Chains A and B, each alone.
Chain A
């Protein structure tokens, strides 16, 4: 049974100081919102995914959240394509527009915005899981405490993260227990009904566990008014300084672009699928 989201390894990402990965996370999040240009999140995603694949290989796709991402991307893109009020130019296939009753026609501008937003969400997502997947929970907690957050909050964060796989495992056992009582999940209605018997034991179990954990922590002198001894010392290496400098320069570069050239959006000139990702009309 896996009890953490952490995937062991010895790649560059694993060896970085967790604080560097936090800076990386924040820079990635900020960078994708500076311009209204899908190329920035695309570059950020490409860099992050490359590093992640080197670090954890195919295990990246075993993460439940990673598997969920395509659904988020599709939903955001399609919703904005239809309903975002920036849309003016209908998307034509041959001579007919893509139309839904009540929602109306899908527009290029809306779709551009949806794609941009989906890419931003993905970039933020990959930046965050880089931190969680490649940092041991202990190091993560030390790092959060090091940047000035009180230790009790830091470890609270660490423990919540560890709860996710534990609850996944628990949910799996409960589903088995319900099947052993002939619970059926043939159609959507039955699947939804099956959520109630899943939810109750899961919620009760996690509340009991929280209570027990609190007592155990106190019994083991957590929060005693003394200076804690640090077993694992985290510190910056050259590579950390180099990378942090690179991220910061990247942000500065984007800000300069924004000030000099504006938001670099080509929202109103998109007329083709590839035009969503690359300013086709400009290169012609």
Chain B
């Protein structure tokens, strides 16, 4: 079943968040140093979802997502990717279904040109050469990488390097893209491109899981949020629901985006407190004034 996943393309996908891609059951992870980084985690990621994982530094976010493609093995519990146990399936195989973009792009890039970088994963999947070139071409167009093709990845700016790292994983055609802190160290322009890329990957039928500390970025891109605090999941649900849960926000030291705070303050005047972005605010204000 897994071996066919990378062939699923835009035309075939069925938007159906109910079908599970990754299923985590009773996961506990203890590092060799004795740190209990995850306790009793139960969560699932469906197909065609935009999921944000939020939480303070050291709350276990990276540890959790590294279990999704077998980079880390559970101390207790099981993780199923499309029904396959990650204990029994190697990361190199799971990589066809689950793409993981590391926080630091420097750990991932090593080829002499950007184009080579895109080919690397596809070669590892043993695709025929013409198919590789086809996928590389598609990826280059989608990510607008034409100007960088023959450039050495290390001579790119941090923003572009991150983009290349994401593209190199995207090219392999995984159904789930995991982005670990994609927005750290990115300027406004890079964030905008990143936003477009996330939108575009979601449009093409993929599930997106991203770890972020940037609440407005989360509000803009996620449909669902998981909040982690001290190795536990303390919230799993929609963003508007999260932003009115004062207990969760306090526990994880989070603050809703400014626009949501504003809508909550104006709720006495009839504005819905569940506003997530400027466009929604405008229509709420219009409605109230009318």
CB pair B106–A180 under 8 Å, yes or no, is no
In the complex, which residues of chain B have a beta carbon less than 8 angstroms from the beta carbon of A2?
33
Return the chain A residue nearest B165 by Cβ. A177
A182 contacts B by Cβ under 8 Å:
yes
Residue-wise interface mask of B (237-258) relative to A, using a CB-CB cutoff of 8 A (1 in contact, 0 not): 0000000000000000000000
Interchain CB contact (< 8 A) of A176 among B66, B124, B154, B169: B66
Q: Given A176-B71, A177-B108, A201-B110 in contact, is the A182-B102 Cβ separation under 8 Å?
A: no
Closest residue to B125 on the A side, CB-wise? Answer: A182
A178 to chain B, nearest CB (A): 8
Whether the Cβ atoms of A182 and B95 lie closer than 8 Å is yes
Check if B172 sits within 8 Å of A181, measured CB to CB: yes
Please give me the residue from chain A that is nearest to B6 by CB atom.
Answer: A182
Contact with A along B146-161 (1 / 0, CB 8 A): 0000000010000000
A180 engages B99 (CB within 8 Å)? yes
| Contact between B106 and A181, CB atoms less than 8 A apart | no
Give, as a whole number of angstroms, the nearest-CB distance from B170 to chain A: 11
Contact A179 B107 (CB under 8 A): no
From the candidates A173, A180, A204, name the one contacting B169 in the complex (CB within 8 A): A180
Q: Decide if A184 touches B124 in the complex (CB within 8 Å).
A: yes
Whether the pair B124, A182 counts as a contact (CB closer than 8 A) is yes
Tell me if A34 counts as interface (CB < 8 A to partner B): no
Known: A180-B95, A182-B125, A196-B110. 4 other contacts (CB 8 A): A2-B33, A181-B95, A181-B168, A201-B109
A174 within 8 A of B: yes
**CB within 8 Å of A: which B62-97 residues:** 66, 69, 71, 90-93, 95-96
Q: Taking A173-B102, A204-B154 as contacts, is the C-beta distance between A180 and B109 under 8 angstroms?
A: no
Query: What's the interface size class on A, roughly?
Result: 20 to 34
8 A-B pairs with CB atoms under 8 Å apart are A174-B108, A176-B91, A179-B92, A181-B95, A181-B120, A181-B169, A182-B96, A182-B125
Does B210 have its Cβ within 8 Å of any Cβ on chain A?
no
- Determine whether the beta carbon of B109 is less than 8 Å from that of A183: no
- Complex partner residue of B121 from A1, A182, A200, A205, CB under 8 angstroms: A182
Contact in complex: A183, B124 (CB < 8 Å): yes
B: interface residue count bin = 20 to 34
A226 to B93, CA, bound (A): 59
Instruction: Pick the residue among A182, A196, A201 that contacts B106 (CB under 8 A).
Output: A201
Residues of chain B with a CB closer than 8 A to A174's CB: 107-108
Query: In the complex, which of the residues B95, B99, B107, B154 has the most CB atoms of chain A within 10 Å of its own CB atom?
Result: B107
Nearest to A62 among chain B residues (CB) is: B32
The 9 residue pairs across chains A and B that have the minimum distance between CB atoms = A200-B110, A182-B124, A182-B95, A179-B91, A181-B121, A180-B100, A177-B108, A177-B107, A182-B92
Provide the bound-state CA to CA distance between A196 and B110, in Å. Answer: 8
Partner of B69 from the list A1, A180, A184 (CB cut-off 8 Å) is A180
* Residues from 172 to 205 in A contacting B, C-beta threshold 8 Å: 173-174, 176-184, 196-197, 200-201, 204-205
Interface residues of B (CB under 8 A from A): 33, 66, 69, 71, 90-93, 95-96, 99-100, 102, 104, 106-110, 120-121, 124-125, 154, 168-169, 172
Contact B102 A177 (CB under 8 A): yes
Q: How far apart sit A185 and B88, CA to CA, in the bound complex (Å)?
A: 16
Question: What chain A residues lie within 8 Å of B93 (beta carbons)?
Answer: 182
How would residues 196 to 218 of chain A score, 1 for a CB under 8 Å from any chain B CB and 0 otherwise? Answer: 11001100110000000000000
Q: How far is the CB of B151 from chain A (nearest CB, A)?
A: 15
B102–A180 CB distance below 8 A? yes
- The contact of B92 among A170, A183, A200, by CB within 8 Å, is A183
A167 CB to closest chain B CB, in angstroms? Answer: 13
CA distance A282 to B107 in the complex (A): 61
Q: Which residues of chain B have C-beta atoms less than 8 A from A182's C-beta?
A: 92-93, 95-96, 121, 124-125, 172
Residues of A within 8 A of B66 (CB): 176
Chain A hits for B92, CB < 8 A: 179, 182-184
A173 touches B110 (CB 8 A): no
- CB-based nearest B residue for A200: B110
Closest to A198 in B: B110
Question: Contacts A179-B92, A180-B71; is A205 near B124 (CB within 8 Å)?
Answer: no
Q: Which of A2, A178, A181 has the most CB of B within 10 A?
A: A181
Rounded to whole angstroms, the CA-CA distance of A184 and B169 in the bound complex is: 16
Q: Closest A-chain residue to B122, C-beta based?
A: A182
Q: Per-residue CB proximity of A1-19 to B under 8 Å, as 1/0?
A: 1100000000000000000
Complex Cα–Cα for A201 and B102 (A): 13
Per-position 1/0 for A30-66, Cβ under 8 A of B: 0000000000000000000000000000000000000
- Which residues does chain A contribute within 8 Å of B154, judged by CB atoms? 204
List chain B residues, Cβ under 8 A from A196. 110
Output the least CB separation between B107 and chain A (Å). 5
If the complex has contacts A179-B91, A181-B169, are A205 and B71 also in contact, measured as CB distance less than 8 A? Answer: no
B106 proximity list for chain A (CB < 8 A) = 201, 204-205
